[in-house]
Amino acid sequence: SQQGEEDPQALSIQEGENATMNCSYKTSINNLQWYRQNSGRGLVHLILIRSNEREKHSGRLRVTLDTSKKSSSLLITASRAADTASYFCATERGGVGTASKLTFGTGTRLQVTL
Amino acid sequence: AAGVIQSPRHLIKEKRETATLKCYPIPRHDTVYWYQQGPGQDPQFLISFYEKMQSDKGSIPDRFSAQQFSDYHSELNMSSLELGDSALYFCASSRQLGVSEAFFGQGTRLTVV
């Protein structure tokens, strides 16, 4: 099964509303990252939250991390049509000086309509 | 600022042919990842390199191989191509993995016909 599973798989909201996406994972992690992908394009890093952090903000983005529940949420406030994209969470394990891999979830497809 | 460069951007190959995808990481990044993303699928990890050594291996078929060169660029070699290999292939780079985010290239769209 997926290391990162997201829900909902698809979300449709109107411009100005808030969008919340959730991500669950199964193993211990160093950090959890959220990425955005426009259709057929590369993934763009949005925000990284370390395992010892509980909440982080970046502009209109708010990320929470609950390591006891192995879950994270991404909140986009005051959404815009330009926020329409797929959003992925990715978990990272491994220590400093070693390399491991980012494991991506299944993604949430967000549609923001005018 | 320099980003991750992938080439080619698009590639069309026939079944059983060979393809080579190239990735040029951001300068001073010491880690390179390769991912495969099928239509409507999430990115699947293939392989990673840290300081030019293979570090981790995911769901990479035996027909595929990769390496990272002395200048840190990486190449993904795919042989005996199959229709199911058609996908977007992304390369990402990061610095001191475990403490920083990965930056992705725009991807190579491989179509096998």
Chain B residues with CB inside 8 Å of A2's CB?
A: 42
Residue linked to tokens 């983005």 = A61
Binning pLDDT at 50, 70 and 90, where does residue B96 land? low
Kindly report the nearest CA distance between residue A9 and chain B, in angstroms: 11
Burial A30-62 (b: 16+ CB within 10 A, else e): bbbbbbbbeeeebbebbbbbeeeeeeeeeeebb
Residue that wins the pLDDT comparison between B14 and A102: B14
Backbone angles phi, psi at A73, to 5 degrees: -135, 150
Q: Are A102 and A51 spatial neighbours (Cβ–Cβ below 8 Å)?
A: no
What per-residue confidence (pLDDT) applies to B1?
63
More confident residue, A71 or A2: A71
Q: Which residue in the set B92, B97, B103 is minimally distant from A94, CB to CB?
A: B97
Query: Quick check: A63 and A73 in contact, CB under 8 A?
Result: yes
Mean pLDDT of B71-85: 97
CA–CA min distance A101, chain B (Å)? 7
Contact B43 A104 (CB under 8 A): yes
Which residue from A89, A92, A86 is spatially nearest to A5, judged by alpha carbons? A89
Say what the pLDDT of residue B50 is.
86
